[in-house]
Amino acid sequence: MKPQLLYVLKHLALLGAFSDKIEVSSLDLATHLKVSQQTASRYLIELEKQGYITRELGIRKQRLNLTTKGKTMLQTEYLLYKRLFEHKDRIYLTGTVFSGMGEGKYYTSLDRYVEQFKEKLGFVPVPGTLNIEINPLELSKLHLLRSYRGILIRSFSTKYRSFGAVTCYPAEMKDIKCAVIQPRRTHYSSAIEIIAPVNLRKTLNLKDGDIVEVIIFVGEKNEKSRNI
């Protein structure tokens, strides 16, 4: 939706068109919006064509009312602002499910990792990770996520090789408790991996290409990030 139309829709709602029909002339609306009468009239025509308002034309004024589609648009906008101002302790990320290289199943099965997952996250993950390619428009939020401390899963070594540290962030998908994991050594710069006590693909009936949302709970930022 064009920003100008959203602005007009908000204005009409504030005038009372959200809950009832209001009478207004295009000249009055133009004065309120500080645009020309022709522009105000064009905005109303576009809103009606797109199904956001209904119009009943009169001799001098017109009766306007928001449709269900128009109300839903404003409610969606409200929820976005609510997230922005009320939920400073969480980050919402959306992205596309994709299949990884299969390494997650091996690493999340290692006893030394599993013990720490159970102790620090409160659950034993099903082997494997759900991989999500983050929406390109939300990559700034992914960078923001990485500025938070998270929960550290410590590195360890065996006789044959060493295994790197992992940062975890408690999360939720469709009310299912899970965690985003960020290995210090990772192949993905624009994706996240998720572990959970259940198989998320099966439980949520997910397949490659599906769009999903993850709610990630964050705490304090790293000292390094604070000083930037």
Per-residue pLDDT tens over the stretch 187-200:
667 899 999 999 99
Cα separation, 195 vs 100, in Å, equals 13
CB 162 within 8 A of CB 156: yes
Determine the straight-line distance between the first and last CA of the chain, rounded to whole angstroms.
35
148 DSSP 8-state letter: B
Q: Give the tens place of pLDDT for each residue, 169-227.
A: 999 999 999 999 998 766 667 899 999 999 999 999 999 999 999 999 987 655 444 44
- pLDDT at residue 33 greater than cutoff 70: yes
**SS3 sequence of 160-194:** CCEECCEEEEEEEECCEEEEEEEECCCCCCCEEEE
Cα separation, 211 vs 69, in Å, equals 22
Query: Which domains are assigned to the chain?
Result: 3-75 (1.10.10.10), 87-226 (2.40.30.30)
pTM to 2 decimal places: 0.63
